[in-house]
Structure 1
C-alpha cells in the first residue's frame, strides 16, 4: 500500500523556540483513517495546522506522496493534495450550499457531476442546495464543509473536531461516511475527535497526544478492545518520553 503522508521528527508551535508538539512521527497510507486523540490542549489542532502549512514547523519534515512540503507554506501543501476541514468549518454563511460547493470546483463542465458526487455521500445536502449555509443545522454545516473538501480531490484529508457542537446521534451518522470516503477515494484521513469509542470504530489506527507528545499509537480495533490503556494515556498513567 502506497505511503501518502509521512512526518519525521516534526516540531511545531506558535512561537520560535517554543514547540508545543515535539518529535511527531507519522506514516499514513492510501485509504487509511487515523483517529488523532488526546485531551484538550494536547496539540492535535496544532499538528493539523502545521501539516496544512498554516503554521510553520519548528523542525522536522512533512512529505505528501514523497514530495517535501515547504514549512509554513499552505499553497505547497494544497498543491500536493492536502485539504483541511477546520473545526469552525470555514463556510461562507451568506452563500448557499450550492455556491459554497461551486467555489471548490474549477471547471464549469464538471460542476454537475462533482456536485452529484457530494450528494451521494450527503443526500441531505441535495435538498438544501438553495439554502444559505448559515441557516443549516450544525450537522448539515459539517456535511457541507467535508463535501467542499472532497471537491478538491484530496490525497490527505484532515478533519478537525468533526463532532464540534453536534449531538452524539449526528456524529454516529457522520463517522461512517468518513470511512466510506477513505474506502472509495483512497484518501488518507486524519480525524481529530473527542468521541473516542465512535472514532475508533471507523478508524484503522489511532494516536494519542498528551502535552504535545505521542504517548500511545496502535491498531484502532485493538485499542478499542482495551479502553483502560487509552484512559491511562489521557490521564497521564502512561509516562511521557523526555
Structure 2
C-alpha cells in the first residue's frame, strides 16, 4: 500500500539542537486514519505543525504524495494537498459560515454544497457569523473549511477541544467518513482515546517525543492497560 504521507527520522522542535520529537517515522495511506496519541507535552502538535510545514524539520524527511517537501515550507505542503485543522479552529469569527467556506476554496476546489453533505447542520447557519456558532458547529465549520480544499492529507489537532463528550461522540465518526469518501490520509490528534480508537485504523503512541507503540487501533481498544502503561512511561512489553 503506497503511503500518501510519509516521514522518516523526523526530528522536530522550536529551537535548533533541542528537538521535542526525535526519530519519528510515520506512513499513512490514502483513506487511512491514524490516531496520534499520548500525554500532554508528548510532541503531538509539534509533529502536525512540522508535517504542515509551519515548523521546519530539524532532521529527517517528509514526503507527500511522492514528493519530498522542503522543511518549513507551508506553501509547498499546501500545494501537495496538506490541510491542517488547528486546535483553536482559526475561524474568521466575524464572517459568516458561507464566507469562511468561500475564502478557504482553492482553484478547482470543492463547493459549499459538498461540505453540507458532510455537515447538513451548517446549511441553516450559512448566514450566521462563525463567532455566534456553538462549539460543535464551529468545529464542523473548521472541518468543512478543510474539506472544501479537497485535502489529500488531513491533519486534525484536538477535534474535541472545548466540546462536551456527547458532541465529540457525534463528530468523530465524520473523520472516518471523510477518509472513506475522499481518500484523504488522515492524522488525528485526540485526547478522547476510546472514541478515537473507534474511528481510526491505526494508533501511534508518542511519549516524551518518541514513539513507544504503533499498531492497529483495535489492539489498543481491546487492551486499555497497554495504553495506560505507555502513558505512564511503564514497560509495554507483554507480561
Q: Give the TM-score normalised by the residue count of structure 2.
A: 0.96
Match of 2:194 among 178, 194, 197: 197
1:156 aligns with 2:149: no
- Look up the match of 1:234: 231
Kept in 1: contact 2:106–2:149 (CA 8 A): no
Structure 2: segments with no counterpart, 5+ residues: none
- Look up the match of 2:27: 27
Q: Give the TM-score normalised by the residue count of structure 1.
A: 0.95
The alpha-carbon deviation at position 199 of structure 1 amounts to 0.1
The alpha-carbon deviation at position 2 of structure 1 amounts to 2.8
- Look up the match of 1:7: 7
Q: Distance in 2 between matches of 1:238 and 1:72?
A: 35
- Look up the match of 2:98: 98
- Look up the match of 2:165: 168
Structure 1: segments with no counterpart, 5+ residues: none
Q: Distance in 1 between matches of 2:29 and 2:72?
A: 23
The alpha-carbon deviation at position 163 of structure 1 amounts to 0.2
Q: Distance in 2 between matches of 1:193 and 1:171?
A: 10
Classify the secondary structure of the residue corresponding to 1:120. Answer: helix
The alpha-carbon deviation at position 238 of structure 1 amounts to 2.9
How many matched pairs? 236
Q: Distance in 2 between matches of 1:158 and 1:65?
A: 15
Classify the secondary structure of the residue corresponding to 1:57. Answer: coil
Classify the secondary structure of the residue corresponding to 2:104. Answer: coil
Q: What are the residue-to-residue correspondences of 1:33-112 with 2, within 5 Å?
A: 33-106=33-106
Classify the secondary structure of the residue corresponding to 2:196. Answer: helix
Match of 1:218 among 204, 215, 220: 215
- Look up the match of 2:120: 123
Q: Distance in 2 between matches of 1:161 and 1:52?
A: 15
